Structure 1
């Protein structure tokens, strides 16, 4: 499938990369060490504690629901990173800047922390949240039917399926209300939520020499899933631009 480079308007309202790992540092020192690395590059970097940091570290480590929750926000000029003792989550505030820029920020972050901080990588998840100010079920190739299915009410479709090197998690929801002041959105509509996950056997050969390449592959998979959903007529309405 030939994939567009851009469409207008771009529906992406949130893009995140989450990496879970084992650390080679004492867990309680992970956040401070990452902050010091970034501060040495930029004195204006800010570190803010999140509410979950008030929970004792030992409790967080023993609770599987809390172990991979970030405890601090690292704010740089280009992007934000949520950091915990075993996790980093990179986000770009506001309007999506395109994959090349997002990838550049990911590369910068990884290169900055490449000082034996991270041991075994346990999980990589690249997520895209797309918003449409209408019922997206009318403009995608997915058909959901049955006597009890009504398109006039909020509906949720969720699928999780494995491929050779990843697992795709897809959720499509209509009848939602989205408020996003940064993007000037306050409207009813639909969401297409796509997460491409690399975990377990998909990560056996991932290291800091090839991790960006693997994340690049996850991005291509997320893009393929998204455009394979859109009807041909709707895609043409978006004025796709190709390489």
Structure 2
């Protein structure tokens, strides 16, 4: 299946590549270590405002970033348990985004503060401002087909393992009437959230980490476009030849 490199208008809300790790430095040394290495590329440093509400699951809070460093195109968010890479503003396309990630991960490797990797994930969240339906938009979404009832898609959640790599887990959510606030506007529509990840008992940063990130992106992208009906895809003005 030939996959587009770009669709317009771009429905992407967020794109995040996250590395969960074990560090060999103390928690109070983290911000200083990262700032000294990344400040020339990311001159803006701020503390995030993530709620520390004890009612939120500890496992989720463990990986919520404490600090964010950014420039006009990209950002890194981090704490003592994870680092993530994000676009700031317009999506830069994977041909630009991946070299950026590779460069920053190389810097992280050179810092020699990461003892091991626990999880790598590539997560893309898109919002289509028209309400999508399983009949005209998606293919192969299960339905009950109960006599005397009409089924409406409000929330669909599932997961997949690619047949060519069962170690990869792709977690999918489709949410109808989702609401999202961006820097400039408030949007409502159908949300598609795909999180492609691999977990590890222990790997080093040198163990094909760049290849793993690139492969997770490829699996996430393949699944996203495989879910869409071809007639609907054509309404998104797909481009196949841009690098």
Measured against the shorter chain, the TM-score band is: 0.7 to 0.9
In structure 1, how many angstroms separate the alpha carbons of the residues matched to 2:19 and 2:189? 30
Q: Kindly state the Cα deviation for residue 69 of structure 1 after the two structures are TM-superposed.
A: 2.2
In structure 2, the CA distance between the partners of 1:219 and 1:50, relative to structure 1 (3 Å rule), is same
Match of 2:124 in 1: 128
Match of 1:19 in 2: 19
Match of 1:191 in 2: 191
Structure-1-length-normalised TM-score:
0.84
Q: Give the 5 Å matches for 1:28-47.
A: 28-39=28-39, 41-42=40-41, 45-47=43-45
Indicate conservation of the 8 Å contact 1:110/1:208, yes or no. Answer: no
Q: Kindly state the Cα deviation for residue 54 of structure 1 after the two structures are TM-superposed.
A: 8.0
Structure-2-length-normalised TM-score:
0.84
In structure 1, how many angstroms separate the alpha carbons of the residues matched to 2:113 and 2:227? 39
Match of 2:10 in 1: 10
Indicate conservation of the 8 Å contact 2:117/2:203, yes or no. Answer: no
In structure 2, the CA distance between the partners of 1:209 and 1:122, relative to structure 1 (3 Å rule), is closer
Q: Kindly state the Cα deviation for residue 178 of structure 1 after the two structures are TM-superposed.
A: 2.7
In structure 2, how many angstroms separate the alpha carbons of the residues matched to 1:208 and 1:149? 52
2:235 matches 1:240: no
Match of 1:68 in 2: 63
In structure 2, how many angstroms separate the alpha carbons of the residues matched to 1:75 and 1:239? 31
Which of the pair is proportionally richer in helix? 1
Match of 2:97 in 1: 102
2:153 matches 1:158: no
In structure 1, how many angstroms separate the alpha carbons of the residues matched to 2:51 and 2:104? 22
In structure 2, the CA distance between the partners of 1:179 and 1:66, relative to structure 1 (3 Å rule), is closer
Q: Any unmatched runs of 5+ in structure 1?
A: none
Q: Kindly state the Cα deviation for residue 17 of structure 1 after the two structures are TM-superposed.
A: 1.0
SS in 1 for 2:217: helix
Q: Kindly state the Cα deviation for residue 140 of structure 1 after the two structures are TM-superposed.
A: 1.1
In structure 2, how many angstroms separate the alpha carbons of the residues matched to 1:157 and 1:238? 22
Indicate conservation of the 8 Å contact 1:45/1:77, yes or no. Answer: no
Q: Kindly state the Cα deviation for residue 102 of structure 1 after the two structures are TM-superposed.
A: 1.3
Task: Name the stretch that deviates more: 217-226 or 134-143.
Answer: 134-143
Q: Kindly state the Cα deviation for residue 221 of structure 1 after the two structures are TM-superposed.
A: 0.3
What whole-Å deviation, never above 9, does each CA across 1:96-136 have from its counterpart, x for those lacking one?
11011211221221122222011110011110011111222
In structure 2, the CA distance between the partners of 1:112 and 1:10, relative to structure 1 (3 Å rule), is same
Q: Any unmatched runs of 5+ in structure 2?
A: none
What whole-Å deviation, never above 9, does each CA across 1:14-49 have from its counterpart, x for those lacking one?
10111110012223212210111112x35x712212
Q: Kindly state the Cα deviation for residue 12 of structure 1 after the two structures are TM-superposed.
A: 1.2
2:179 matches 1:177: yes
In structure 2, the CA distance between the partners of 1:103 and 1:159, relative to structure 1 (3 Å rule), is same
